[in-house]
Amino acid sequence: MRSRDADRFNHDPWADDYDRKVRDETNPIRAGYAAVLAWTVEQARIGPDSVVLDLGVGTGNTVALIPRARRVVGVDVSTRMLAQAPAKLSHLLHVELLEADLLEVFDRDLPVFDAVVSTYSVHHLDDTEKAELFRRVHGALRPGGRAVFGDLMFESEAARSEIAAAWSDEDRARVIKSLDEEHPWRVDHAVRHLESAGLQVLEARRFSVLSWGISAEKPDPGAL
């Protein structure tokens, strides 16, 4: 199953400028970016023997923070974003970059993962697709493996309304309008969908008005 808006959100047109833009954390969309990426990698508990999947790897900024791993698979639809990743990942021995859709990739022959990470990509899936992604992530993880997401999120629908009301000036109202054209997470819905998929939510943490992280673990019935 390919996600509905994969072509619309393919970042080919923005790839050349992407890394410069994410460094500007005065932009409310970017505020918290560096901290979210660092937290995502830290929460994923990646060690030298870990097999890791990055969903929406883009130019490789999250994978670049992984000090070592046995194998990393990065997935993205954008040829031009992926083209920038290898230069940042030379410290990792075994990296595969797959040009594929976030959902469709699970129909491929993938290894079992110790950790699945994703930053600022899953808001390109609608809520039904997010729920499907969580089921696919659960299926791809080993028991005890971690799934960690950093992205643009509102705590709830009520929180979105409060922020939209407070951000009534022209610039920030435009931010809310453009976000509404994508699929920013609702933390409360996502926690329910993650739990329904069989993942145990460990933490939901806010990094800025719009940036959050959610970490989860696939329960290991064999663990003490």
Ligand X SMILES: C[S@@+](CC[C@H](N)C(=O)[O-])C[C@H]1O[C@@H](n2cnc3c(N)ncnc32)[C@H](O)[C@@H]1O
Contacts with ligand X by CB under 6 A lie at: 3, 6, 9-11, 22, 56-58, 61-62, 75-78, 81, 101-102, 119-121, 124
- Least distance CB 77 / ligand X (angstroms): 4
Cα-only R_g, the chain: 17
8 Å CB contact between 63 and 118 = no
Nearer to ligand X, 50 or 121 (CB): 121
Nearer to ligand X, 10 or 50 (CB): 10
Nearer to ligand X, 37 or 199 (CB): 37
- Least distance CB 42 / ligand X (angstroms): 15
- Least distance CB 36 / ligand X (angstroms): 8
- Least distance CB 20 / ligand X (angstroms): 12
SS3 of 46-108: CCCCCEEEEECCCCCCCHHHCCCCCEEEEEECCHHHHCCCHHHCCCCCCEEEEECCCCHHHHC
Closest-approach residue to ligand X (CB): 58
